[in-house]
Amino acid sequence: MAVAEAVASSPAPRRRRLQPSLAAGLVMLAVLVVVAVAAGRIAPYPPLAQSFSQALLPPSAQHLLGTDNYGRDVFSRVLAATRIDLEIGLLGTLFPFLLGSALGAIAGYAGGLADALIMRVVDVIIAFPFLVLVIAFVAFVGGGTANVVVALTIGGWVGFARLVRGEILVQRQMEYADATRLLGYSRSRILFRHLLPNAIPPALVFAVSSITLNILTAAALGFLGLGVSPPTPEWGLMMSEGETFLFQAWWIATMPGLACLFAGLTFTLLGDGASDLLRVRGQ
Amino acid sequence: MNPLRAAARDPVLTVADLSVEIPTPRGVVRAVRHVSIEVRPGETFALVGESGSGKTMTCRAILRLVPAPGRITGGSVIYGGDDLVTLPESAIDRIRGTGISMIFQDPMTALHPMLTVEQQICETWGRGLPRQQARERATELLRQVGLADAQRRLRDYPHQLSGGQRQRVMIAIALARGPDLLIADEPTTALDVTIQAQILRLLKDLQQRLGMALLLVTHDLGVVADIADRVAVMYGGQVVESGPAASLLRAPRHPYTVGLLRSMPPISATRQPLEPIEGMPPDLAALPAGCPFAPRCQWATDDCRAGEIPVVAVGPDHMSRCRLADAMEVRKDGEAHGLHLIR
Amino acid sequence: MIPVLILVTIVSFFLLKLLPGDPAAMVLGDKASDAAIAAFRHQLGLDQPLLAQYLLYVQHLATGNLGTSIIYRTPVMELMGPRAEVTGFLVVYSMVLGILIAVPLAFAAALHRDGWPDQLVRVVTTIPLVSPTFWIGLLLLLVFSVKLHWLPATGFGESFADHLVHLFLPALTLSLSFAALLARNLRAAILDALGRTFVDFARAKGLPRRVILYRHVLRAALVSIVTIVGLQLSFAIGGAVVTETVFALPGLGTWMEQSIFARDYQVVQSLTFIFAAGTIVINLLTDLTYSVLDPRVTVD
């Protein structure tokens, strides 16, 4: 009976999923980076080159993913857009990681007023739906890559802050922190040499997973017309432009989404692989 | 109940040559090995042993509740004319709760934390019984198990009750459909000492009133002395000795049983040095050939380590799985049991 | 909850300050006369110290004055009703669909642990979690509306039944990432529950398998459903904004986007506040639900 079987299967000996997901993720990451950097050289057509005679063509040998309403090659545009979305995704994670980890460490280690203050700010930011906060910021400040990254930072640092703060709090309980205090180490030395190195790895894993979210958010902003402006190729923007032509030329709206999925999957696999590694190391 | 009268009727449960194996990464664990016991109607049968001796797994096997990947690999469990080992799952389901019922060691984890006492009792009767009648029956059950203020208790959740109260609730649930046999797996281990005695009294009381048989699993020989009619002592997955409680405790015929008696504080007040049994319980995944107790037995011979030890009858209804059973004589030196080998 | 709410008002208040240039001029737009701008400045209290401005803003909020839409020339409060209904319907509908999808998947995965249903569920649930929500919406729109003509592409419909039909695709779109996350967590919760002693005792009682699964196991795992709903609600509201855009639904999300492009700033500010306030309230309700589900939990 399935209930009986499910009830008592003892924790299965840890199967080696380390290799496949991490390996696949790394390969995909390599592909992304190469495309992002060398899109200009790889792409068969210039992404901005218009040609009205070639408009709305379905995927073919000449145009792998078809053309859009301006006759631009969709494949080339998808490749060119990789750089922008990847940039936003990575920067939009790097800054929250730095800012959030720093504030989280301070809150966790210093405690008291600093902790209370920082956590209040965290509570407020969490109260806003992430996308709404980002959209609101961009709405009032303006679009463009830089503003989007700032918006992602404002919304994204809180996750890291809570994580690092939590880790620091746990580490503080542990004996070796007391031991180093007894030895008379200065507080900052304790923080940087001992507590942080243990708190950072989970934050790194969280960062990798966040990249997926930020890429998707960047695409969402582009879709809503709040990111970069046309005619710059950006996945979300392309999908938005393509929606009008969903009936006659479905490939315009759907192909960039595959690229998005590819990028999202890359970092999710990397994140899974990284967290597996972390667990095996006896965390 | 008069043991002689009990013996005259057919046994409620006959376990014959039962074996249970559990595959693990370390190897196959032979948790139960060729176990045979017989429970007669209306009697209290105690299954005694340390943890890891196979007593809990034997009980689970009786009700076909061996957790996967473990499985029954041999033997039979005869109840009501059927072999429970080979019956289809649906048939066993009908026997669980109605014919044979079981209570577990820790009532806090055995009861569902989010369902009320009433819900957990009444669900055993399913849809068949209308709400109001079910509630009345449940209240009556709770009174029978000695719960004060039974009606109020119905609406409580397990975490609102004390340990003893929870155990009573579990007993009530187990008795809800009037089983012929109640299996109680260490029902008092998780309770305070004072409550333990109460629960044991309750079980004995219920058993006699309802004419039910009780298969009691315990590691405490004191409990055995208190309420058991017959006993089986388990070690290393095997039954090493079994017989009427009185004679077995007074004149044990297996070195392990003797060791157990010697390592427990005697019930009388005289102070005796406790003698623990040297060594460790066997690794059930890597059992030595021959008697499982041999490594710790001071009288073990090469014969003991050679092959399967046959069962020897050492008295009326009293058996021992020891090559030296016949060559043993137990004499009491003062209050302690001395095992003397007669050559 | 109250302190957070206050802080939220502070954040909303400062949103307008982010605008480059004079807020009054930006809100009223290019065509406004100087007199109108001056009057508006006075109305917003921009000629007063910051603290006074803020208190004025809070006072407005408390009395239900959420500003006025420049485009529609109507108070935001009045315009909100029907649009909030659409968005609310969408979010609730998507949560319900998500639960309906996730529960069977979670059970299938848990009861056949490591078997093919489990693997399949793991793979299938990955897809919504790494794809843009709106892309999934576009795909669904393409297949079911454009190509197959089974379902309408846009609009809200008149009657309740109409709503269910019109909002099915959008709600499905929104539900998928929630369902994916829920299925995974629920699977773990079910496996955990199955390993607990009360399941053994339930079997020893002779309870039928269905009762054990759907009363005992599901009840124990229910708490995790509520947790995920609570966590995801915030994301769902954000996702609703995008989803409404894909399907051109007349809800708060589309309105927000329109207002951003039309530079109808007070609307954007107020909607941001509403979304945040709504999230806070919903989180509170989620906490309350815990105490209903698990009798061991007491309400603070």
Identify the sign of the CA torsion A204, A206, A208, A211. negative
Residues 218 to 257 of A: which have CB under 8 A from any C CB? Answer: 219-220, 223-226, 235-236, 239, 242-243, 246-247, 250, 253-254, 256-257
Among A271-275, B213-217, B270-274, the range with the most confident prediction by mean pLDDT is B213-217
Within 8 A of A130 by CB-CB distance, chain C residues are 234-235, 238
Name the residue among A7, A124, A220 with its Cβ closest to that of C11: A124
pLDDT at res. B303? 78
Asked whether the beta carbons of residue B67 and residue A8 sit closer than 8 angstroms, the reply is: yes
- Contact assignment for B24 to A10 by CB distance below 8 Å: yes
pLDDT for A177: 58
Nearest to B111 among C198, C203, C204 (CB): C198
B-chain residue closest to A12, CA distance: B25
Asked if residue B96 lies in contact with residue C204, where contact means CB atoms within 8 angstroms, the answer is: yes
Nearest-Cα distance to chain C for B267, in Å, is 34
H or E segment at B39? Answer: strand B27-39
What's the pLDDT at B25? Answer: 87
Interface of C with B in 236-295 (CB under 8 A): 293-295
pLDDT, average across residues B202-228: 89
Indicate the residue of C206, C220, C296 with minimum beta-carbon distance to B94.
Answer: C206
What is chain C's length? Answer: 300
Structure tokens at A65: 């993913």
Give dist(CA C93, CA C170) in Å, integer.
Answer: 9
Instruction: Determine which helix (DSSP H) or strand (DSSP E) holds C202, and give its type and residue range.
Output: helix C197-204
For A87-103, what is each residue's pLDDT tens digit?
999 999 999 999 999 99
User: What residues in A contact B65, CB-CB < 8 Å?
Assistant: 4
How far off is chain B from A5, nearest CA to CA, in Å? Answer: 5
By DSSP bridging, strand B71-79 and strand B13-24 are antiparallel
pLDDT tens-digit profile of A121-142? 998 898 899 999 999 888 888 8
Specify which residues C136 forms β-bridges with. Answer: none
Q: Is B68 within 8 Å of A13 when comparing Cβ atoms?
A: no
Record the tokens describing residue B16, joined without a space.
Answer: 């014959």
**Mean pLDDT to the nearest integer, C110-133:** 90
The per-residue pLDDT for C71 is: 76
> In this structure, what token pair is assigned to residue A12?
């299965």
Instruction: Say yes or no to pLDDT of B296 above 90.
Output: no
pLDDT at residue C4, as a whole number: 83
pLDDT of residue B247: 86
Residue of B nearest to C221 (CA): B114
Summarize chain C as % helix, strand, coil (round to 5): 75, 0, 20
What DSSP designation does C142 have?
A: I
CB contacts under 8 A, A 75-114 vs C, are none
Please tell me the total number of residues recorded for chain A in this structure. Answer: 283
CB contact under 8 A, B123 and C200: no
A195-210 pLDDT, tens digit per residue, is 777 778 888 888 988 9
The confidence score (pLDDT) of residue B266 equals 60
Check whether A8 has a pLDDT greater than 50: no
Q: Is the pLDDT of residue A3 over 90?
A: no
Cross-chain residue pair B69–A9, CB shorter than 8 Å: yes
The pLDDT, as a whole number, for residue A11 is 42
Considering only alpha carbons, which residue of chain A is nearest residue B26?
A13
Residue B61 at interface with chain C, using a CB cutoff of 8 Å: no
Asked if the Cβ–Cβ distance from C293 to B109 is below 8 Å, we say: no
Whether the per-residue pLDDT at C187 is higher than 70: the answer is yes
CB pairs under 8 A between B and C: 72
Contacting A with CB below 8 Å, chain B residues are 24-25, 65, 67-70, 89
Q: Are strands B27-39 and B13-24 parallel, antiparallel or unpaired?
A: antiparallel
The per-residue pLDDT for B192 is 84
- Mean pLDDT, to the nearest integer, of C234-248? 88
Whether residue C5 has pLDDT greater than 60? yes
Q: Write out pLDDT tens, residues B2-57.
A: 455 444 568 899 999 999 999 988 888 889 999 999 999 989 999 998 888 889 99
Name the maximum alpha-carbon separation found in chain C. Answer: 83
Rounded Cα distance between B5 and B126, Å, is 36
| Inter-chain residue contact A3 with C126, CB threshold 8 Å | no
ipTM: 0.84
CB contact under 8 A, B157 and C211: no
Interchain proximity A132–C237, CB inside 8 Å? yes
SS3 A175: helix
What confidence score (pLDDT) does residue B336 get? 46
Is the predicted pLDDT of residue B181 greater than 70, yes or no? yes
Q: Which pLDDT tens digit goes with each residue over A52-80?
A: 877 888 888 778 888 888 888 888 888 88
Residue C291 sits at the vertex; the CA angle it makes with C285 and C296, to the nearest 5 degrees, is 165
- Nearest CA to CA, how far is A8 from chain B (Å)? 5
Whether residue B282 has pLDDT greater than 60: yes
Spell out which residues of chain A touch residue C265, defining contact as CB-CB under 8 Å: 139-140
Calculate the CA dihedral of residues A232, A234, A236, A239 and round it to 10 degrees: 70
Q: Assign C11 a pLDDT band (cuts: 50, 70, 90).
A: confident
Residue B264 half-sphere exposure, CB side, CA atoms within 13 Å?
Answer: 19
pLDDT value of position A178: 66
Given this model, what pLDDT does residue A281 score? Answer: 58
Confidence band of A262 (pLDDT split at 50, 70, 90)? very high
Among B49-63, B253-267, B303-317, name the most confident range.
B49-63
The answer to whether residue C22 scores a pLDDT higher than 90 is no
* Mean pLDDT confidence for A275-279: 76
Confidence of residue B185 (pLDDT cuts 50, 70, 90): very high
| pLDDT tens sequence across C259-287 | 888 888 888 888 998 899 888 888 888 88
In A, which residues are within 8 Å of B70 by CB distance? 8
CA-CA distance, A260 to A216, in Å (whole number)? 7
pLDDT at A109: 81
For residues C90-104, give the mean pLDDT: 92
C295/B97 CB distance under 8 A: no
> Is residue A220 predicted with pLDDT exceeding 80?
yes
The Cα–Cα gap between B227 and B214 comes to 10
CA distances from A256 to A240, A241, B320, C243 (A): 10, 11, 79, 17
Q: Is A130 on the interface with C (CB under 8 A)?
A: yes
Residue of chain B with shortest Cα separation from A1: B89
Chain C residues with beta carbon closer than 8 angstroms to that of B110: 197-198, 200-201
- Residue B48: name the closest of B168, B212, B225, B170 by CA: B225
Q: Which of B172, B214, B208, B168 is nearest to B191 (CA)?
A: B168
Q: pLDDT grade, residue A181 (50/70/90)?
A: low
For B193-214, the pLDDT digits (tens) are 888 888 888 999 998 888 899 9
Hey, which chains touch B, using 3+ CB pairs under 8 Å? Answer: A, C
Subunits adjacent to chain C (3 or more Cβ pairs under 8 Å): A, B
A8 CB within 8 Å of a chain C CB? yes
Model confidence pLDDT, tens digit, residues A153-180:
999 999 899 888 888 887 777 655 566 6
**Binning pLDDT at 50, 70 and 90, where does residue B343 land?**
very low
- Please report the pLDDT score of residue A152 as a whole number: 93
Q: Find, among A124, A134, A153, A213, the residue nearest to C279 by Cα.
A: A124
Closest CA to B318 of B244, B228, B240: B244
**CA pair distance B183, B185, nearest whole angstrom:** 6
Residue with tokens 């007593």: B55
Exposure string over C248-287, b if 16+ CB within 10 A, otherwise e: ebbbbbbbbbebbeebbbbbbbbbbbbbbbbbbebbeeee
Contacts of B109 in chain A (CB under 8 A): none
Q: Can you tell me the distance from the alpha carbon of B281 to that of B293, in angstroms, rounded to the nearest whole number?
A: 8
β-partners of residue B235 are B238
Residue C217 has pLDDT above 70, yes or no: yes
| pLDDT at res. B75 | 92
Partner residue facing C194 (CB), from A6, A133, A253: A6
* Digit-coded pLDDT (tens) for B56-80: 999 999 999 998 888 999 999 999 8
Tell me which residue has tokens 């990798």: A208
pLDDT tens-digit map of B111-158: 998 899 999 999 998 888 888 989 999 999 999 898 888 888 899 999
Cis amide bond preceding A231, omega within 30: yes
Q: What pLDDT shows up at residue A16? A: 47
Task: Identify the pLDDT of residue A248.
Answer: 84
Average pLDDT of B168-186?
Answer: 92
Residues A282/A23, Cβ–Cβ less than 8 Å: no
Put simply, the answer to whether C257 touches A212 (Cβ < 8 Å) is no
**Mean pLDDT score of chain A, rounded to an integer?**
82
Task: Calculate what percentage of chain B has a pLDDT beyond 90.
Answer: 35
Q: What integer is the mean pLDDT of C137-152?
A: 83
For residues B203 and B243, the answer to whether their CB atoms sit within 8 Å is no
Average pLDDT over every residue of A261-277: 87
Q: CB burial class (10 A; 0-12, 13-18, 19+) of residue A53?
A: exposed
Q: DSSP 3-state assignment of B72?
A: strand
Are the beta carbons of C110 and A6 separated by less than 8 Å?
yes
Distance, in Å, from the CA atom of B221 to the CA atom of A175, rounded to the nearest integer, reads 44
